[in-house]
A and B are shown apart, each in its own frame.
Chain A
């Protein structure tokens, strides 16, 4: 194959990855809602409800306050674009994503942080009391989760010898060298799981199903949004959830992922990946049903736990493996 056809193939794989992520993300959100509904002995909305919601919102007009600035208008696009770019850097069904030259784990973390930053600005922008409250709470949560997330990915990166997500996943999938190292990886996984719950606004930290002013964080920031802006934000948060579940399943247990560009392996890779993230989504649904939301000032305890665990994972590697 010549270099041109390799490039076309890479572009094609990237597009497929984008389409897979975009279609799968509302399904995961719907799956968590369904699990919660079933645990509450309800039937719950149908599997396609999140897709209907998005379609409905895209058809509706946008209502924006006259006090808002360009930040309010730009935020949905920035958030959606940065999240989607981050998703393209994470191996989903192929261990070496074609875009892996473009950025590593640090890029992914800060692309997500960029979206969160603009969402916080947009929350403040409309000048409503709820938006400001949501933004300030989100700032607490984001500043506490970010170090834990970076450190937990580094802990795995240390064993793989790279911060590039594709290299980490590829080496772990092929078991090159001693890449699996249970104790530090387990601590890092626990930390990343806590980070996932916090970053995607799940129950012990935030409740995605409530609009009660005392408790909401994410919902408070996007309260002013409507129409296609809201659709973009909802879709972006679904993508973010998908990204975190993919990180957890593919960094720590990438087995089943395609390690070379064979169509058969890649289709199998999509299947295995779907099973893994659905499993994690069910787990999150069960956790949401079992635990009550923490008080806001207890959230720091919970996130402190994630930070300490990820730090210990790294120190464990340095002291006992160094």
Chain B
């Protein structure tokens, strides 16, 4: 069985690394619709990771979470976001607070930070998901950074969803998944949050003729 778990842990680590790669691709990407596609791809990788963990540990309720991830995060939410982008006509280049090479450097530093923080506790965790915890924390930090660094409301939503992906990966890695009822609640929250933010973005567009959230800090009249 040693080889079996070894192969399994390598596969799980590979999928987690793919999640981190897509994070960096989202940061380096300037086109909004491509960001949404990359987020959908990341969710697919997340679902694969979760399904692998479910298969290798026999914790079958994770399969349900993986299925919900595909349906909600890889199909429904990207559609909603695409519809918002379509209506707002903002698919051209993104506006950034920080340019791309510097964002990449900042994210590199964040990943190093995440690795340092998790390094002492990794040996206490499961062998199967040894790297996933470090990667999950890195993804959460990068998600925060996307929310801070991007001006458009839609990219901030993507940052929020990336954080959620990181948290889900972290839960799968650290505890082999949360209880099903909690996961169902989280998915429902995400869906509602996506819808609310979509509506809010429309309101922003109607009021300011732009989805640039930095305009919210200025006083009108």
Contacts and interface: CB of A to CB of B under 8 A. Distances in A.
Interface centre among B100, B116, B130, by most A CB within 10 Å? B100
Nearest to A315: B112
Contact of B13 (A183, A300, A305): A183
A121 to B, nearest CB: 28
A286 interface: no
A304 B100 contact: yes
A319 B115 contact: yes
A183 B116 contact: no
A308 B10 CA distance: 23
Interface stretch (B102-110, B149-157, B167-175): B102-110
Given A305-B104, A308-B107, A320-B134, A183 B14 contact: yes
Contacts of A316: 115
B218 interface: no
B107 A183 contact: no
Q: In which size bucket is the chain A interface?
A: 20 to 34
Contacts of B25: 305
Nearest to B11: A182
Contacts of A184: 17
Nearest to A305: B28
B16 A183 contact: yes
A221 interface: no
Given A182-B10, A302-B28, A320 B115 contact: yes
Interface in A290-304: 298, 300-302, 304
Contacts of B16: 183
A182 B20 CA distance: 12
Contact of B115 (A302, A308, A315): A315
> For chain B, what secondary structure do more than half of its interface residues adopt (helix, strand, loop), or is it mixed?
helix
Contact of B101 (A300, A311, A312): A300
Contacts of A182: 10-11, 13-14, 17
A308 B100 contact: no
Contacts of B107: 308
> For chain A, what secondary structure do more than half of its interface residues adopt (helix, strand, loop), or is it mixed?
helix
B198 to A, nearest CB: 29
Contacts of B122: 320
A312 B134 contact: no
Interface string B19-59: 01100110010100000000000000000000000000000
Contact of A190 (B11, B21, B105, B135): B21
A301 B13 contact: no
Interface of B: 10-11, 13-14, 16-18, 20-21, 24-25, 28, 30, 100-101, 104-105, 107-108, 111-112, 115-116, 119, 122, 130-131, 134-135
Given A184-B17, A190-B21, 6 more contacts: A182-B11, A183-B16, A186-B14, A187-B17, A298-B30, A315-B112
Interface of A: 180-184, 186-187, 190, 298, 300-302, 304-305, 308-309, 311-312, 315-316, 319-320
21 contacts: A180-B10, A182-B11, A182-B14, A182-B17, A183-B14, A186-B21, A187-B17, A190-B21, A301-B30, A304-B101, A305-B24, A305-B25, A305-B28, A308-B24, A308-B105, A311-B108, A312-B108, A315-B112, A319-B116, A320-B115, A320-B122
Q: Closest 4 A-B residue pairs measured CB to CB?
A: A182-B14, A183-B17, A301-B100, A319-B115
